[in-house]
């Protein structure tokens, strides 16, 4: 992926709130050069930026096992992290938007795994598979000409925890049980021709993911680390960011498309949209805040909403879900769950 010099950073932490703050700080403040981060979260669910947290987690299981829940700034679905999982982040210049995603960023990961004798392959929207089982999921974010592309590497994770911590969306799997999750995922260590531990795997990836470029160990300054702590405290530690207050809604609809699942909740008053929120595991690379703000005050008519949406880069906001599919989800009255004011939650 990256020619020339790659700056290598570690967070020095297994705390998910700190790690995501660290990653975001590098994206927003180290605005030149190529960066590779390797990091781990212990006992954590990480949800996508557009997901409804309570709908994604098994609340009783999460509380029983003291699992932390944190929201990331990239799209996609919820994932469970433990110390058998290793995360990687690429941060670099975005280039043309069309160049984003699989070929440019997934290739070095696939090639690194193949270098260990594993038959890895990119698959679907954002997965890396080995013998049909998912060992990595990826997501990305675009910001001011820079791209953050990160993913998981299930090396020796606990599949029971992965399956137990998350709700299974029955539209994703034929079986509604956690068995469908457990059978779909795999651990990289199972497929190694010669065994290695996590420390050796981590050390190997430091150079393998740089795709032949020179790797330079780097570190944040004390001032930068202080800023990371502030971001952790003011954003990632907060209930507002991770769960958020859900206002009352009159209309709810949920559909699944080839580009991912999409749920919309809308408050309508006197024929105008007063609030709207989109949930889903679609692979957004930019946040939805400006679009939802623009839709507030819009007449609740398809043509009016379409006119607002046409002012925005919808592929960046909804990934593979199309403009018409978003509009179908909002206005497909046959599927809408309509609530009276007294029933709205």
Residue 116: which pLDDT band, with cuts at 50, 70 and 90?
very high
- In this predicted structure, what is the pLDDT of residue 341? 35
* Same domain? 112 vs 191: yes
How wide is the angle at C-alpha 279 spanned by C-alphas 274 and 280, nearest 5°? 155
- 17-31, 51-65, 142-156, range with the lowest pLDDT: 51-65
- In this predicted structure, what is the pLDDT of residue 339? 41
* Same domain? 109 vs 215: yes
Token pair 């919820």 is at which residue?
78
Token pair 């330079």 is at which residue?
216
- In this predicted structure, what is the pLDDT of residue 160? 82
Mean pLDDT (the chain, rounded): 87
pTM, entire model: 0.83
Mean pLDDT of 170-175: 44
pLDDT at 102 over 70: no
Most confident of 98-102, 162-166, 313-317, 337-341: 313-317
* Same domain? 55 vs 168: yes
Q: What percent of the chain has pLDDT over 90?
A: 66
pLDDT at 333 over 60: no
Residue 50: which pLDDT band, with cuts at 50, 70 and 90?
very high
Identify whether the C-beta of residue 267 lies closer than 8 Å to the C-beta of residue 250: yes
- In this predicted structure, what is the pLDDT of residue 338? 41
pLDDT at 337 over 90: no
Structure tokens at 253: 């609809």
What CATH code is carried by the domain that includes residue 179? Answer: 3.30.930.10
230/18 Cα distance (integer angstroms): 10
Neighbours of 332 (CB within 10 A): 14
39/31 Cα distance (integer angstroms): 20
In 3-state terms, what secondary structure has residue 326?
Answer: helix
* Same domain? 271 vs 327: yes
Mean pLDDT of 282-311: 94
216/10 Cα distance (integer angstroms): 12
Residue 345 resides in a domain:
no
Phi, psi of 41 (to 5 degrees): -110, 140
Structure tokens at 137: 């999921």
Residue 204: which pLDDT band, with cuts at 50, 70 and 90?
very high
* Same domain? 306 vs 334: yes
- In this predicted structure, what is the pLDDT of residue 101? 57
Residue 344 resides in a domain:
no
Domains identified in the chain, total number: 2
Residue 18 resides in a domain:
yes
Identify whether the C-beta of residue 70 lies closer than 8 Å to the C-beta of residue 20: yes
* Same domain? 182 vs 318: no
- 73-82, 163-172, 266-275, 302-311, range with the lowest pLDDT: 163-172
pLDDT at 195 over 80: yes
* Same domain? 121 vs 156: yes
* Same domain? 149 vs 64: yes
* Same domain? 175 vs 201: yes
* Same domain? 203 vs 164: yes
- In this predicted structure, what is the pLDDT of residue 245? 59
Mean pLDDT of 167-185: 51
pLDDT at 342 over 50: no
pLDDT at 340 over 50: no
Pairing of strands 251-257, 272-280: unpaired
Among candidate residues 190, 219, 242, the one where a domain is terminated: 242
* Same domain? 211 vs 66: yes
Residue 309: which pLDDT band, with cuts at 50, 70 and 90?
very high
Residue 343 resides in a domain:
no
Identify whether the C-beta of residue 268 lies closer than 8 Å to the C-beta of residue 274: yes
Domain range enclosing 156: 5-242
* Same domain? 86 vs 166: yes
Among candidate residues 218, 242, 266, the one where a domain is terminated: 242
């Amino acid at each position: 992926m990256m020619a020339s010099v790659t700056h290598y950073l570690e967070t020095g932490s297994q705390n998910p709130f700190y790690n995501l703050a660290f990653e975001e700080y590098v994206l927003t403040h180290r605005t030149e050069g190529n960066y590779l981060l390797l990091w781990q979260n212990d006992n954590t669910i990480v949800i996508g930026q557009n997901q409804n947290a309570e709908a994604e987690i098994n609340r009783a299981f999460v509380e029983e096992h003291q699992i932390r829940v944190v929201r990331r700034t990239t799209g996609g679905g919820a994932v469970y992290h433990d110390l058998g999982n290793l995360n990687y982040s690429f941060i670099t210049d975005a280039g043309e938007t069309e160049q984003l995603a699989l070929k440019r960023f997934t290739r070095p990961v696939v090639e690194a795994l193949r270098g260990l004798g594993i038959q890895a392959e990119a698959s679907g929207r954002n997965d890396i598979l080995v013998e049909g089982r998912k060992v990595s999921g990826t997501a990305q974010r675009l910001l001011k000409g820079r791209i953050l592309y990160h993913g998981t590497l299930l090396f020796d994770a606990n599949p029971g925890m992965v399956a137990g911590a998350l709700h299974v969306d029955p539209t994703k799997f034929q079986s509604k049980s956690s068995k469908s999750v457990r059978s779909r995922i795999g651990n990289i260590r199972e497929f190694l021709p010669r065994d290695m531990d996590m420390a050796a795997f981590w050390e190997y990836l430091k150079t393998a993911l740089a795709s032949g470029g020179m790797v330079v160990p780097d570190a944040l300054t004390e001032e930068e680390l202080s800023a990371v702590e502030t971001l952790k405290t003011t954003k990632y530690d907060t209930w507002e960011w991770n769960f958020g207050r859900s206002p009352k809604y009159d209309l709810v609809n949920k559909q699944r498309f080839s580009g991912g699942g999409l749920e919309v909740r809308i408050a309508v008053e006197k024929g105008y949209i007063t609030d709207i929120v989109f949930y889903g595991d679609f692979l957004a690379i930019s946040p939805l805040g400006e679009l939802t703000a623009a839709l507030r005050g819009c007449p609740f008519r398809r043509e009016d909403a379409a006119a607002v949406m046409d002012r925005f880069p919808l592929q960046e906001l909804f990934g593979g879900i199309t403009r018409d599919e978003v509009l179908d989800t909002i206005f497909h009255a046959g599927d809408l769950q309509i609530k009276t004011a007294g029933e709205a939650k």
